[in-house]
Chains A and B, each alone.
Chain A
Amino acid sequence: MNTFVIETKHLDLFYDSFQALTDINLNIEEKKITALIGPSGCGKSTLLRVFNRMNDLIDGVRITGDVNVLGDNIFTPETDLIALRQKIGMVFQRPNPFPLSVYENIAFGLKIHRNQSKKEFTDIVKESLKSVILWDDLKDRLDNSALKLSLEQQQRLCIARVLTMKPQIILMDEPCSALDPIATLRIEELMQELKKNYTIVIVTHNMQQAARASDNTAFLYLGELVEYGETKHIYSSPKEKRTEDYLTGRFG
């Protein structure tokens, strides 16, 4: 029996009058990597931002339908956005560390939520850096500017920054699009490692990446969820003509 950490039912999303998502019914499995694929503008980022309610920042967004995250409807008036966003971390397309030291970047979330002692603080920083395999590289350079790191290291740092919140779900919006192929592969390896403890939802334009790195794949087209299932089935025998066309590069 699989458990679902995110469930959407009849989810519609409008930017003013433009409908960006139509009747999305999607269940995301715990401790799996789910890839959202589809042509540019089909609504992948929009859907991802529904899960941690980052769309709230955009004026004119209207949402109908149900979204449950970890069992709770996240669109009720009582929803605690702060708690929700601690449970769901987000990694962005461009690595975006703050112009602060490595240490200050990682400790940012801890400083804000302030429920640890100083000692735990440094332990969590260390642990997070270890989980993204940066500790050995950076342990002597915690005071250096995070902006001096390579892009790959910066992206790892951003993942570590999310991990300090002890989230259960990590959302990644094209996390490798600013990286070279080798760095991309290494981040994918890291995702396999993280999967043991976290549920990951990743948006990607790179179909090989989705094929290599994900367990489940959702194909979105013009705001609709066209097909969703195990990645190996989707890639070997797509049920929908549109999925097949997209995967074989007939449009995109």
Chain B
Amino acid sequence: MNVQLEQKIAFSILFLCTLLVVVPVLIILVIIFVKGASALSLNFLFEMPTSGMTAGGIFPAILGTLYLVLGAILFAVPLGVLSAIYLVEYSRDNALSRIVKLAIVNLAGVPSVVYGLFGLGIFVLFLGFGASILSGSLTLGIMILPVIITSSREALESVPQSFRIVSLSLGASKWQTIRHSVLPHALPGILTGTILGLGRAAGETAPILFTVAAFYLPKLPQSVFDQTMALPYHLYVISTQVPGIPENVRYGTALVLLMLVLILNLAAIILRYQFRKRKKW
């Protein structure tokens, strides 16, 4: 066959595949936007729901999701980064450490509902935190730990060995070396993992279903031991459990969830960009 023709066919197929992936996503985004935009207003964002959730705002769900994501990140990032540091910098390369690493990678693939049940068993019942922001945050945190550990490990491993050697040869201790000449260069990669985890934590319904999410609460949570409403669960509730919710409220809620994740990601991306800029590759 003619090389030129082959070239053209290959290009078309690849292009079509890309299109096939991108177009549905775009369509979903457009539909959500078109159907939901009319619901958006300051009241919708900052008011309590009224008349059996058919009117008013979704403020408690937005706030609840923010709390949960923040809690999950506060718990999972320090723990994840520290264990990644241990695995990369301190543990020896033996059968045990390889099994641990493999296990962590595989944990990322465990379905989120399993994490939900785990959280119910451990945090809600065994530790007696009840259905609460604390239980929900910890469950979400455990769910995103594997992602954070794995990407932190990759970030640490990609820091050139020579940085460590130079630092040690200048009389730095092992910890100083990690602190001053490894971690700063791994931060952008660590942030990438955090961004991925963040999006997942904000969007998942199953892990919060048993551990924190409330159908409807007349007031905002007062402490970490309170239940809270949350966007993904609220979306599920108003779409399937409560009849007579106007369509634009449902799509508006989905739109808010999407935008929230986008804004959180954007913040992390800007942060990462700032770190990259300081680094003078």
Specify the main secondary structure of chain A where it touches its partner: helix
A147, B280: Cβ atoms closer than 8 Å: yes
Interface residues of B in 180-195 (CB under 8 A from A): 180-181, 185
Q: Given the complex, which residues of B lie within 8 Å of A111, measured CB to CB?
A: 180
Q: Is A252 interfacial (CB 8 A cutoff)?
A: no
Q: What residue of chain B has the Cβ atom nearest to residue A148's Cβ?
A: B280
B169, A85: Cβ atoms closer than 8 Å: yes
Tell me whether A99 and B281 are in contact in the complex, defined as CB-CB below 8 angstroms, given that A54-B168, A83-B171, A161-B170 are known contacts.
yes
> Is the interface on chain B under 10, 10 to 19, 20 to 34, or 35 or more residues?
10 to 19
Q: Is A86 interfacial (CB 8 A cutoff)?
A: yes
Interface residues of A in 98-129 (CB under 8 A from B): 98-101, 108-109, 111-113
A108, B169: Cβ atoms closer than 8 Å: no
Which of B166, B168, B169 is packed against the most chain A CB atoms within 10 Å? B169
B280, A99: Cβ atoms closer than 8 Å: yes
What CA separation (Å) do A94 and B280 show in the bound complex? Answer: 18
CB distance from B129 to the nearest CB of A (A): 42
How many residues on A have C-beta within 8 angstroms of the other chain's C-beta atoms?
A: 32
What CA separation (Å) do A147 and B279 show in the bound complex? Answer: 11
Q: Is A146 interfacial (CB 8 A cutoff)?
A: yes
Q: Is A90 interfacial (CB 8 A cutoff)?
A: yes
Q: Is A57 interfacial (CB 8 A cutoff)?
A: yes
Among B170, B171, B173, B279, the residue within 8 A (CB) of A100 is: B279
Q: 21 A-B Cβ contacts within 8 A?
A: A54-B165, A54-B168, A82-B171, A85-B170, A89-B169, A90-B169, A96-B166, A98-B181, A100-B279, A100-B280, A109-B170, A111-B180, A112-B170, A112-B171, A112-B176, A112-B180, A145-B280, A146-B280, A148-B280, A165-B170, A165-B171
Q: Given contacts A99-B185, A109-B170, A112-B171, could you give 15 more A-B pairs where the C-beta distance is less than 8 Å? A: A52-B169, A57-B165, A84-B171, A85-B168, A90-B169, A99-B281, A101-B280, A108-B181, A109-B171, A112-B180, A113-B171, A144-B280, A147-B281, A161-B170, A165-B170
